[in-house]
Amino acid sequence: MTRRRCLVTGATGYLGGRLVPELLGAGHAVRCMARTPDRLRHRPWADRVETVRGDATDAASVGAALDGVEVAYYLIHAIGSGRDFEDTDRRAARIFGERARAAGVRRIVYLGGLTPVGVPERELSPHLRSRAEVGRILLGSGVPTAALRAAVIIGSGSASFEMLRQLTERLPVMTTPSWVRTRVQPVAVRDVLRVLVGCAALPDDVSRTFDLGGPDVVTYQDMMRRYARQAGLRRRLIVPVPVLTPSLSSHWVGLVTPVPSRTARPLVESLRHEVVCAERDIERYVPPPDGGFLDLDGALRAALRQVAGTAPPARPAPGDPQPGDPGWAGGSLYTDRRERAVDTSPAALWRVMEGIGGANGWYSAPLAWAARGWLDTLLGGVGLRRGRPAPGRLRVGDHLDFWRVEALERERLLRLRAEMRLPGLAWLELTVRQDEAGRTVYGQRALFQPRGLAGHAYWWAVWPFHAWVFGGMVRNITAAAARDDGRAPRGTGRPAPD
């Protein structure tokens, strides 16, 4: 593929932040335009791109950002910014098209929304109507434009997918608007990104819209049930209620899920339209990968991958949670985090941490740990009967009562994965570090990824006991380490702010 100089707008957003590493991986040079460039500073690829400050409604900054660019990706929109978002989208698109033509840009690539066949534009929801108008403005700019149109994008962090995820996980029984029976053609974010990258090499005489969708045409009801199956949840009972208006539906989504109502409302209003591809012409120019586009189940599996309690890989898969995703994206991961400074050596603290479990216990609330072990045994779990494999050094894979060692870095990290019966996944992470003053600091995180409504209920049922159990662990582990090293502990052991 010929190397292009590319501009990515919306690089702080969902798709833009995922597109940048894909373009870099294909050998392109990338410039990112952002209103707040500092938001890109900690991305893994930040030192490989040029970042410029720009506002899509400011012609001068847009013109400067487009200078010397061959391919410009337009991935910004004003959804959720207020009632006048259509005017803002219209003005920004006109400025971008005019400045791209003046700068000699060879191609614009835009991703909008798939619109229903045969429905007049004036009858579309405001969100879809605005996305269609932006595509029309860019196509009329005089710069060859690929205006891609996709329906629901399946990937962790996508607003549409997060609504699906949160509703399905939290509600085993749902009364829903009638739009759950609307047909839609979802597409995996992996495949959207592949097409976006491939559009950089489109012939100069190609300037048109392209429909973009996966191989499955389903209803939203089907998607919820298939999500539940892929997530290991029980089958969801869905009861459509026709009296729920888009306004009421968006407030309902905002109440049940962490997706803000201002984001949910324009998306919910669009769900009444059937959005199915009328053509697949883009495949003539950007061939699908071997095996074709991911089907819905494959896309859901990719989106469900979690990196809980672990550091993300250097280049996460497109469907994974990534830096810059909204705080409500990526599913629920509850955290109890505490730390305490102690006047002892890292080696002394590590000896206590590595000796945890078995006959040594868990350094807090022994009756509570014993009761949890008995309960786990009654439920058919392993309970506390396994103990420790040996009093000496631990290794990855060793069992510690109803935990298993998942990661171990001596004098730095001990992470345990729960093997008890739980409505979700749980980890306990113990760390050693030194602060700026050279003091040894003990860190402790309990993480829980709930499965369904039972998982959320479990976390909040045991949460009142965390100060007793986990707070006691912090105090007693650091005290034991100080005694081992002949010094007294200090610090509060209070929960650290998230």
CB 192 within 8 A of CB 151: no
Could you give the CA distance from residue 26 to residue 24 in angstroms, rounded to a whole number? Answer: 5
Length of the chain: 498
The widest CA-to-CA distance across the chain, in whole angstroms, is 80
b/e code 306-342 from CB counts within 10 Å (16+ = b): eebbeeeeeebbbbbbbebbeebbbbbbbebebbbbb
**Tens of each residue's pLDDT in the chain, 498 residues:** 578 999 999 998 889 999 999 999 999 999 999 988 988 988 889 999 999 999 999 999 999 999 999 999 999 886 555 567 788 899 999 999 999 999 999 999 999 988 887 777 777 777 788 889 999 999 999 999 999 999 889 988 787 788 888 778 777 766 666 667 888 999 999 999 999 999 999 999 999 999 999 999 998 888 888 998 888 887 877 776 665 555 566 666 666 666 666 666 666 666 677 889 999 999 999 999 988 999 999 999 888 875 433 434 444 555 555 656 655 556 667 889 999 999 899 999 999 999 999 888 899 988 888 888 898 888 888 888 888 887 778 888 898 999 999 889 989 999 999 999 888 888 999 999 998 888 999 999 998 888 777 888 888 899 999 989 999 999 999 999 988 765 544 444 545 544
Could you give the CA distance from residue 37 to residue 53 in angstroms, rounded to a whole number? Answer: 6
Element (H, E) at 230: helix 220-230
* Domains of the chain (ranges, CATH numbers): 5-303 (3.40.50.720), 334-485 (3.30.530.20)
Burial category of 62 from C-beta neighbours within 10 Å (exposed 0-12, middle 13-18, buried 19 and up): buried
